[in-house]
Amino acid sequence: MPLIEDIGHVLAPPHQAGRPFILGGLVAVMLGLALGPWLAWLGLLFTLFCLFFFRDPERVPPGRVGAVVAPADGRVTSIAPAVPPAELGLGAMPRWRVSTFLSVLNVHVNRAPADGIITRIAYRHGSFLNASLDKASEENERNAIALRLSDGREIAVVQIAGLIARRIVCTLREGDSVQAGERFGIIRFGSRTDLYLPEGVRPLVAVGQTMIGGETVIAELAT
């Protein structure tokens, strides 16, 4: 069964953001059949890479009241108190931030960490440093999202471009209602996602731990 699940994971349908790249690869394959086999092979390899990179497998959230789930796949590189991005207007009080680094091998679809209402979305231009570096949270191009929970507390999720990432996709709008595990965007070709927990809530994960977006429980909200 695990092998079947792994195969299904790799062969999952691609996210819609990857369709232009996949189509471009197929066009290169067709042109290569007429112009030369080297172009056809390059087009085929590029298409296969894009099918793998943009895969969008189904995920099953835990369904527990008060569970905060991982907004992305990848490896936790940092857990530390930090002030949320100023553009979100969440105040200057530090709160726990969990940073997840996504390599090109990870699923790059971002997912909502909890049920709530989107109160603020703020995009900011920036650098393209290695997303595994701690200063990437402050200096890199990013898209910050504030999510208000049913009890009035707020969570922040930040999509951060990486060394080779050049496109952050976010399908949310301010005022949207989301559910834990719901897809809301993708970052192309290597990136990082930061999650800022509500004040007083501590993370349950550790640095080096592997996250499964929409499924791994990062924290439990106090009831």
Digit-coded pLDDT (tens) for 20-78: 888 888 888 888 888 878 888 898 998 898 888 888 888 989 988 889 999 999 999 99
Instruction: Quote the percentage of the chain above a pLDDT of 90.
Output: 48
Upper half-sphere CA count for residue 133 (Cβ side, 13 Å): 12
> Which residues touch 39 (CB under 8 Å, ≥6 apart)?
28, 29, 31, 32
Q: What is the pLDDT of residue 11?
A: 66
Which helix (H) or strand (E) element contains residue 38?
helix 37-53
Which helix (H) or strand (E) element contains residue 45?
helix 37-53
Q: How confident is the model at residue 213 (pLDDT cuts 50, 70, 90)?
A: very high
Q: How far apart are CA 76 and CA 194, in angstroms?
A: 10
Tens-digit pLDDT profile for residues 131-178: 556 665 676 788 999 999 989 999 999 999 866 555 788 999 999 999
How much is the pTM? 0.84
> Which residues touch 109 (CB under 8 Å, ≥6 apart)?
15, 56, 72, 73, 183, 185, 186, 213
Q: Is 191 a catalytic residue?
A: yes
> Which residues touch 178 (CB under 8 Å, ≥6 apart)?
112, 115, 116, 117, 118, 147, 172, 184
> Which residues touch 5 (CB under 8 Å, ≥6 apart)?
none
> Which residues touch 176 (CB under 8 Å, ≥6 apart)?
117, 118
Catalytic residue among 78, 99, 137, 191: 191
Tens-digit pLDDT profile for residues 109-131: 999 999 999 999 999 886 666 55
